[in-house]
Amino acid sequence: MLVFWMVAISFCVVAVAFVVAPMRIRRNTGNTNRMGLNVALYRDRISELEKSRSAGEISDEEFAQLEKDLQLVLLADDGDEVEPVRTESSVPVAAAAFVVVFSVFLYGDFGFSLGSLNDLLLAEEMQAAPHDVPQMRVTVEKLARRLQQQPDNDRGWFLLAQSWRSLSEYEEASRAFQRLVEKFPNDAALAANYAEVVFFADGQRFSPRVREAVEQALALDPDNLQMLEFSAMYAYRQGDSETTVALFRRALKSAEGERAELLRRAITRLSGESPTLDAPSQVVSTGRILKVLVELGNGVEAQANDTVYVYARAFAGPPMPLAVQRLTVANLPTLVTLTPAQAMMQGMSLNDFDRVQLVARVSESGIANASPDDYEVFSGEIDMKLEQPVIKLVISDRRG
């Protein structure tokens, strides 16, 4: 926030300089021009007097008296300019004050309601406590209410969409992104963002609107890595290994680092598999495992038959769970073992990512798609290259 005000004050100073400087230059230029003319006349007259004295036309006493008279005239002319300078000094001050007041008036929500200042203040609030979910939700809801009065504030709508996504409110995020996609139908990045949040809003199912959104995003950007991965996931679930491999090969062209290595391994495995690849049980069960002690915190309002999801996901990569177990609250506390055998897709298991994160969530509705009423806990980053001890997760806080 301090940085914002420092920048704002700097801009105001520059703006004031643009207004005041011409006024002062113009005034000082006029004064300088008149003074210069008087001095030039004075010097010319002195030069003439010196010539007259040299020629014997005037005595030294007369020269001294005439020189003194000319100096008095010069000083009198200079004194006449003092009063206008004082009377005009209020104009630059008034202009400077107007610039500052008008700037705040213009960029605040009052005045012309452009809202740039308040947009930035809301963004600062969100960044101030990114892990304070309740406070962040209050700020996001405040932004949503403001945008109802500012339907053309595209920057605000994009900020709102991203904020809802960070809160895992995918349906809300999809509505905000859809608004932008309809306004900017040729923006490939917006189309991809919309497809992603719709995928999660529909419970990671390839519903008709998800397939349509992914196809539209790929039509705008055929090389979009995430959309190619989504299309490959859909083909895999349909048992179409040939299309899956082809899509992974396309995705590999723009992938880098760990993600590229993952795609190479997936392509190698899928290319050597039989056509019936749609059974997760075919994933090799040996390899990396994670043991997770899951407990329910004090004060959690949950029924014994409420569903509990415990899963691992890539810390930086595709959002699909790498291993997942489904339990009930009645099973807690319990020790959960996550293995590559619990992967949802070939090439997307604990064996394929070196950095993962654990999530445990109580879902009253029983569906995989998270809701604000769910209780949820996250682990930090887990390095799968190292042997891991039992990791404890205590579910105690609501998502909303």
Domain boundary among 107, 124, 155: 107
Q: Give the model confidence (pLDDT) of 234-293 as tens digits.
A: 888 888 888 989 999 999 888 887 778 878 888 887 876 444 434 333 334 457 899 999
Q: Which of 3-17, 24-38, 338-352 is most confident?
A: 338-352
Would residue 331 count as lying in a domain? yes
Q: Where would I find the H helices in 221-293?
A: 225-237, 241-252, 257-271
Q: Which token pair is 129?
A: 């406590």
Would residue 334 count as lying in a domain? yes
pTM of the model: 0.51
Would residue 144 count as lying in a domain? no
Q: What per-residue confidence (pLDDT) applies to 382?
A: 93
Would residue 232 count as lying in a domain? no
- The strand pairing partners of 382, in sequence order, are 356
Check whether the bond before 333 is cis (ω within 30° of 0): yes
Q: Give the model confidence (pLDDT) of 111-148 as tens digits.
A: 444 444 455 555 555 555 444 567 778 888 888 898 88
Range of the domain at 382: 290-395
Would residue 330 count as lying in a domain? yes
Would residue 62 count as lying in a domain? yes
Q: Which token pair is 209?
A: 């609107």
Tell me: pLDDT of 216 over 70.
yes
Would residue 89 count as lying in a domain? yes
Contact call for residues 315 and 357 (beta carbons, < 8 A) = yes
| pLDDT range class, residue 109, cuts 50, 70, 90 | very low
Distance of alpha carbon 127 from alpha carbon 292, whole angstroms: 31
What value does the mean pLDDT of the chain take? 75
Mean pLDDT of 68-84: 57
Distance of alpha carbon 197 from alpha carbon 145, whole angstroms: 21
Q: What per-residue confidence (pLDDT) applies to 276?
A: 40
Distance of alpha carbon 101 from alpha carbon 305, whole angstroms: 61
Better-predicted residue by pLDDT, 319 or 245: 245
Domain boundary among 55, 73, 107: 107
3-state secondary structure of 186: coil
Phi and psi torsions of 187, nearest 5°: -90, 110
Query: Can you say whether the dihedral through the CA atoms of 200, 205, 210, 211 is positive or negative?
Result: positive
Domain boundary among 72, 107, 142: 107
Tell me: pLDDT of 81 over 70.
no
Structural domain total, the chain: 2
Query: Can you say whether the dihedral through the CA atoms of 356, 263, 287, 282 is positive or negative?
Result: positive
- The strand pairing partners of 137, in sequence order, are none
Would residue 35 count as lying in a domain? yes
Summary count for the chain: helices (H), strands (E): 13, 8
